[in-house]
Amino acid sequence: MMLTRRKFLRSVGAGGIALVAPLGIASVAAAVDTSAWFRNPLRIPAMDEGRIIDGKRVFDLAMQYGTSHFINNLATPTAGINGSYLGPVLKVKRGEDVHLKVTNRLSEPSTLHWHGLNLPAIMDGGPHQVIPMGTTWEPRFNIRQPAATQWYHAHMYHRTGIQVYHGLAGLLYIDDDELHDLQLPSEYGVDDIPLVLQDRAFNQDGSLRYMGSMHDRMIGMMGPVMLVNGTAFASFKVQKPLTRLRLLNGSNARIYNLGLEDRREFLQIATDGGLLAQPVAMRNLVLAPGERCEILVEFKPGEDILLWHSPLPRRSRSSGPGMMGMMGMMAGNDRPFPIMRFDASQSPAMTRKIPAQLLEPRSWSTTEAVRNRRINLDMGMGMGMGGGFRINGKAMDINRIDFRVRLGEIEIWEIGNSSPMAHPFHIHDTQFRILDRDGKPPGAGEQGLKDTVLVYSGERVRIITQFEHYADARAPYMFHCHILEHEDAGMMGQFVVVA
Ligand code: C2O
Ligand code: CU
Ligand code: CU
């Protein structure tokens, strides 16, 4: 199933760029020097711990334009936060008050959303918290949830896809004293490594290519070049044999099925919202746009190994193989490709112990639930016109509140997908647990706190959650597909939490 590296390079050597050619983008092929593949040192984003002022953790963030050099010397106009592409890793601690000063230095309005955080709706940074050009937005909130790898990104109405694509995103780590007894690898950039996965397409002049075809509109924007932390063909020099990888699928639309070249086991230790109860051994992990996971990988001294995407497991469902098979193929999920390289040639031998128990993630019992909501994701028949992306038959309308949730009530949401492709469904303000997928309990790696769940075509996923701490009848939170082109095209809705 999986190509070996030698076979892969041979297929590349024939003249095409494996990633580029099958996806039909010839322009960038000429510019890529294959000998440089997976030799670019992985960029490690700056860690920003802010400044403590009057007991609050204060961050100064600027959304700005820049120029990046992803491929050879090609100059790519990009955007970032306190930098030219992506932003720093913001580190906050459970229990503390944070105050972020976000200045928009772009030439268009934007927003900055704190994905995964439980916070007041007016601090959320969704489409209602627009930051006009040249102004500063100052959300303040308390960190009320356990240690986790969260993230932030632009969330401008109808412009989220293009803004994130150009680089307006970054990671946000929540730290928690509880975590320290576990002695997980936690030396930032040494054995605790952020990996922001994004695929990008380029024009001949080096600029990012966004939304050229009907395919981009329908399936979502994908590209033939993998960036990891904004590094194309990245290589990371392993320094400790046991390395913790914090993965974010920061791509607009691509779903990854991650594994190491030799299909070795690794341990998943965390989901979107924090640690799992115990490490889960696996060889492959599916990560959809918006989702995060943390894994521990054991590298052997002297080895040199690639992280791969392999084809997603086929799921044939009710609507028959024709349309779904076609959509799967169009979604580019049917062929393997390398993502980045780990060079452990200098790594010492393994000494560290792995804890058998982590922390029990929060859960709710179905008997406590007072409400059952049905959500249906649908691409409609008008998708050729780009107008068919809907939830419960309606396209997003920023002036319509779809429903009200009562503060503190425990709810079950049943998410269906009547479209021919998978959609990662995300809810703001809360973390949830997955109850079941088509009536069956989720895999061990999904038995933790989540804020985004992939719902396959024809599938029915039930989640349980509780909206806590903040009610505001006027300011809505969003729920949406995290394929950003689907979100921008209408696969999004709004709810308010009321006291
Ligand atoms: Cu990560 Cu509403 O978004
Ligand atoms: Cu979000
Ligand atoms: Cu979608």
Closest by alpha carbon to 375, among 392, 396, 389, 390?
392
CA distance 254 to 291: 11
**What is the structure's pLDDT at 243?**
96
Kindly indicate the confidence band of residue 130, based on its pLDDT and cuts at 50, 70 and 90. Answer: very high
Domain with CATH 2.60.40.420 in the chain: 5-13+184-344, 47-177, 366-498
CATH of span 366-498: 2.60.40.420
The tokens describing 301, both together, are 């001294």
Q: Which amino acid type is present at position 155?
A: H
pTM of the predicted protein model: 0.92
Kindly indicate the confidence band of residue 329, based on its pLDDT and cuts at 50, 70 and 90. Answer: low
- Residues with a beta carbon under 5 angstroms from ion ligand 3: 423, 481, 483, 486
Instruction: Kindly list the protein residues whose Cβ atom lies closer than 6 A to any atom of ligand 1.
Output: 113, 115, 153, 155, 290, 426, 428, 478, 480, 482
pLDDT in tens, 224-238: 999 999 999 999 999
Is the pLDDT at 292 greater than 50? The verdict is: yes
pLDDT in tens, 238-268: 999 999 999 999 999 999 999 999 999 999 9
Kindly indicate the confidence band of residue 382, based on its pLDDT and cuts at 50, 70 and 90. Answer: low
268 — phi, psi (to 5°)? -85, 130
User: Which range among 46-50, 157-161, 325-329, 385-389 shows the weakest confidence by mean pLDDT?
Assistant: 325-329
Neighbours of 346 (CB within 10 A): 10
Which residues does 144 contact at the CB level (< 8 Å), separation at least 6? 94, 95, 118, 468, 469
Average pLDDT over residues 27-42: 62
Neighbours of 2 (CB within 10 A): 17
Architecture of domain 47-177: Sandwich (2.60)
CA distance 8 to 56: 51
pLDDT in tens, 443-494: 999 999 999 999 999 999 999 999 999 999 999 999 999 999 999 999 999 9
Cα 428 to ligand 2 centroid, rounded to whole Å: 5
Kindly indicate the confidence band of residue 327, based on its pLDDT and cuts at 50, 70 and 90. Answer: low
**What is the structure's pLDDT at 324?**
53
Cα 37 to ligand 1 centroid, rounded to whole Å: 32
Q: Which ligand is nearest to the CA of 289?
A: 1
Indicate which residue's Cα is closest to atom 1 of ligand 1. 115
| H or E, element range at 416 | strand 410-417
Q: Cα 449 to chain center, whole Å?
A: 15
Q: Which ligand is nearest to the CA of 423?
A: 3
Class of domain 5-13+184-344: mainly beta
Q: What ligand 1 atom has the least distance to the C-alpha of 116?
A: 1
pLDDT in tens, 188-212: 999 999 999 999 999 999 999 999 8
Q: Which ligand is nearest to the CA of 111?
A: 1
Cα 116 to ligand 2 centroid, rounded to whole Å: 6
**What is the structure's pLDDT at 180?**
87
Q: What ligand 1 atom has the least distance to the C-alpha of 153?
A: 1
Average pLDDT over residues 334-361: 89
Average pLDDT over residues 167-173: 98
Q: Which ligand is nearest to the CA of 430?
A: 2
Indicate which residue's Cα is closest to atom 3 of ligand 1. 115
Query: Considering just the CA atoms, what is the radius of gyration of the chain in Å?
Result: 21
Cα 173 to ligand 3 centroid, rounded to whole Å: 26
